[in-house]
Amino acid sequence: MFCPRCGSEALPNQTFCAKCGASLATAENVQAAAPAPAAQAVPPVPRAIALPSPAPMRTIPDGGLTIEEMAAWLDGEGYAVKFVIGESGNRHIETSSQGSPINIFLGDCKGERCAALEFGAGFSTHGKFDISQINGWNYDNRWCRAYCDSDKDPWLKMNIDLWPGGTYEALSDRFEIWNRTLGRFIEKYGLR
């Protein structure tokens, strides 16, 4: 027999529920035909949701990139590539972003493979750029540094280590940081 109020099991000769004190005599006839109350269902234990595996990272080869690999990466990102030989006789890449030419110099080279990059953009202001503007920029910005060349024209540069542990995805992220920062530099100083 079960208590009609709380559902506790009672002995057949009990007249009151030991748990809640309800009278069991009046409910005895009704309960004889009624099934025992169903035990409360225990909710199923949630299973761990299987998340899709992330796409594998494309690692940069040991020692960094060659200039041709850098050019192929830029081309894959949608940028036009031009090889340029600088005053030092070394080749670098020229492309453009934010409507301005960008020079990409490779450094820390061992043979053809280079472990560092430098993005640089210069602007001809005919010597009208103030050094206090450069100092203000460098004070407020950590990743892309500015300086004036010998003609007192502003340049913005950013250095990137490609190795060890570099990936093309990280390179894309850093190039995006460069592009956004270059846009802010151009906008802030009216260099269009």
- pLDDT beneath 70, residues of the chain: 20-21, 25-40
* pTM of this prediction exceeds 0.75: no
Q: Could you tell me the CATH number of the domain that includes residue 81?
A: 3.30.1460.70
Question: 14 — alpha (psi -120 to 50), left (phi > 0) or beta?
Answer: beta
Is 58 inside any structural domain?
no
Q: Tell me, what DSSP letter sits at residue 15?
A: S
Same domain flag for 144 and 93: yes
Total of domains in the chain: 2
Is 128 inside any structural domain?
yes
The predicted structure's pLDDT at residue 173: 94
Closest CA to 92 of 107, 80, 78, 77: 107
Same domain flag for 32 and 71: no
Same domain flag for 15 and 99: no
Is 86 inside any structural domain?
yes
Same domain flag for 90 and 183: yes
pLDDT, tens only, 16-63: 777 766 777 654 444 444 555 556 677 777 777 777 777 778 899 999
Same domain flag for 99 and 174: yes
Is 90 inside any structural domain?
yes
Host domain of residue 104:
67-189
The predicted structure's pLDDT at residue 143: 83
Is 57 inside any structural domain?
no
Burial class (CB in 10 A: 0-12, 13-18, 19+), 135: exposed
